[in-house]
Structure 1
Amino acid sequence: MKQNKYDDPSFFEQYSQMPRSIGGLQAAGEWYVLRDMLPDLENAAVLDLGCGFGWHCRYAASQKASRVVGVDISARMLARARDITTEPNIEYRQLAIEDIDFPPRTFNVVLSSLALHYIADYAQVCRKVFDSLQPGGAFVLSVEHPIFTALAAQDWYYDAAGNRLHWPVDRYQEEGLRYTRFLENEVIKYHRTVTTWVNSLLQAGFLLQRVEEPAPTADIITQYPGMKDEARRPIFLLLSVIKPAV
């Protein structure tokens, strides 16, 4: 199932008001770790899967990538990305992540930020990314953490006074569809265990480099006080893998 909620005008408007939509990478609580997981991008051909407003594409261009391709299913997202992009070596394509079909060895680096938990066939995407990379190339991705996606409610357990007591986890081993609420809309996500997130990459042929579960920094919490509880449970899972050089 290929979702495109972002072309709904109301949903898109609400998404556009989120801190990371306005502040970009500096407002993304996991960015300080994801950035450190990326390889040297100078002279690299880079693919961004689910590029949204193109923040990561423009970062790659600022690091002197030779070519950057951003892929997203949403025409509205790409229109905004094009409006705020001036770098001539960035190309945006309207395409579902599931439908990528680049020639073998096209890219040196593929990245994906908070997009693959919307994809039904993650294993197939891993195989396609593997084929599209040069030997020695890197795939760096972030997804919502399985602790976060296990229950469709994706919410805290509260006491009678409305205080957050704990984050409930249930049905963790039951992978598959979750009908969740995001920005007052029903959104389909796919819950996977950490085992599946990692092993699908290994089965595609990748070599694991790093696994991270970042918490927001003190600076981020100071700037965005609503994120203080994000340190109480993992919300992001970040993975870095490489394609064998031979």
Structure 2
Amino acid sequence: MDTRTGGFLAAALLLLAASGPSEACSCSPVHPQMAYCKADIVTKVRFVEATKLNLNNNTDGELDWIQYEIKPDKFFKGFDMIPNLQYVYTASQESLCGYNHYSTNKSEEYVIAGYIHEGKLRISSCSFIKPWAKLTASQKRGLIQLYKDGCGCNIVVCLSAPCSTSTDKDCLWTDYLTSQSSKAYQSQHYACLPQNSNACTWQSMKPRVASTAFRSRAAH
């Protein structure tokens, strides 16, 4: 895992622990491509069983973890990082961004994007964890084929106008300027990919659609 990513995650957990269990976990918006590129492992799995563990040997229970037994079906990234992957871990407390898997359907497949810490795959409530069946065809194509090509690009989140980019490697993500989830075109159907000039632009992932249909550089 990138040391900056690992440092950020560790610092976030320390801050959350210091704030006490009454504090809620908050997550920044993450485009599926961002989740793919920042993760160590991206895989499609079935959740089988959950077991509560105390990995840190603490007696107060504050840092207990949940071990999810999983059955990987397909790897999109990092297939060789943990041979025979069988478990994924998360903090047991929601205040520490612990992920709770509420579904009891053991046959349902999920895409999870996690990071490796101390040889274990970790996820949180901020991780990209989505039912495979609810992803768009474009998002599936991104995971299988296209997102990896855009990991040298930057997706800049725009939460309120005006917004702008600073380099030709940036793509402005404007989905959050509308309250209608059906308008989330960039997260559902577009990837930020490099062109022949090495500049990055939004490109449609829909089959047989012009690849440069969305070129947002600034919102006003």
Alignment TM-score > 0.5, same fold: no
| TM-score bin (small chain) | under 0.3
Higher helix share: 1
TM-score between the two structures when normalised by the length of structure 2: 0.26
TM-score between the two structures when normalised by the length of structure 1: 0.24
